[in-house]
């Protein structure tokens, strides 16, 4: 689900919300003061912040302003009073939504999901890529070879997608590790080789008799018939 930062000085409320949200599958971090909250907002990079406007160390709007200076994270402000002026000022100061105490776990969970939906970047336009009989449909996460479905693991799928999208180009193993696995490259790492060999088997070829995945010695691989 989401990583939620709760900034709330009331220990009972803080613990209650923390447990309720964790029980709904969120990862929750909590702070009791505005300054600790600001630190956690930077250190933990939460997906959303629940910010109590009545904190002991800083005025709520000041806390919100400082948070906005260091992060674009969506913020739901929590107020104790249903005063329209306070909410409007909070929204003007950069809050994305507000709730009024007392609030239930269900309500706050719904608000969190709504804020995340609103602030999510638009889905990238997913384009089907195709080369040498292999067709990848990113929207359905399916791959076919000459029209027949390929049974791929998620990693094999990502690897094949990456290669087919760059058909004809030499792709280095370093690039595959950092882009497909998102880990740092070490020369001894055989992850890429192992997955390439599995992928080759599923495409009906071997490193010795390649058809689509060609080894470019000391550099990497290239997808596509020569
Ligand atoms: Ca408070």
Give residue 28 CA to ligand 1 midpoint distance, Å.
Answer: 18
How far apart are the two ends of the chain, measured CA to CA in Å?
45
The rounded Å distance from CA 5 to ligand 1 centre is 15
CA of 105 to the centre of ligand 1 (A): 17
Domains, the chain, with CATH or none: 3-119 (3.40.50.2300), 129-223 (1.10.10.10)
pLDDT class of 80 with cuts at 50, 70, 90: confident
Handedness of CA 117, 1, 13, 8 (dihedral sign): negative
* pLDDT at residue 204 tops 70: yes
pTM of the predicted structure, to 2 decimals: 0.56
Starting at the edge strand found earlier in the chain, the sheet holding 134-137 runs: 129-131, 134-137, 142-145, 148-149
How many A from CA of 145 to the centre of ligand 1? 60
Residue 225 CA to ligand 1 center (angstroms) comes to 66
What separation in Å is there between the alpha carbon of 184 and the centre of ligand 1? 43
23 vs 105: CA distance, rounded Å: 10
- Return the closest-CA partner of residue 171 out of 149, 156, 192, 199: 192
Listing DSSP states for 107-140 in one string gives HHHHHHHHHHHHHSPPPPPP--EEETTEEEETTT
Dist. CA 7 → ligand 1 center (Å): 9
36-71 per-position pLDDT tens digit: 999 999 999 999 999 998 899 998 888 999 999 888
Tell how far the Cα of 166 is from the centroid of ligand 1, in angstroms.
54
Share of the chain above pLDDT 90, in %: 58
CA 10 – ligand 1 centroid, Å? 6
């Amino acid at each position: 689900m989401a990583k939620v930062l709760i900034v709330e000085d009331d220990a009972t409320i803080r613990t209650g919300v923390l447990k309720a949200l964790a029980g709904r599958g969120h990862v929750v971090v909590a702070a009791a003061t505005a300054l600790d909250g600001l630190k956690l907002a930077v250190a933990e990079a939460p997906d959303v912040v629940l910010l109590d406007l009545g904190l002991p160390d800083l005025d709520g709007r000041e806390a919100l302003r400082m948070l906005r200076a260091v992060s674009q994270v969506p913020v739901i402000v929590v107020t104790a009073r249903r005063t329209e002026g306070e909410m409007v000022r909070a929204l003007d100061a950069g809050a994305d939504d507000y709730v009024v105490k007392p609030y239930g776990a269900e309500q706050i969970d719904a608000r969190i999901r709504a804020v995340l939906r609103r602030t999510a970047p638009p889905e990238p336009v997913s384009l089907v890529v195709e080369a040498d009989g292999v067709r990848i449909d990113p929207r359905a996460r399916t791959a076919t070879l000459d029209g027949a479905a390929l049974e791929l693991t998620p990693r094999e799928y990502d690897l094949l997608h990456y290669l087919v999208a760059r058909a004809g180009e030499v792709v280095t193993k370093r690039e595959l590790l950092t882009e497909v696995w998102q880990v740092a490259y070490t020369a001894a790492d055989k992850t890429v080789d192992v997955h390439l060999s599995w992928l080759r088997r599923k495409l009906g070829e071997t490193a010795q008799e390649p058809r689509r995945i060609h080894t470019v010695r000391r550099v990497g691989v290239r997808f596509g018939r020569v």
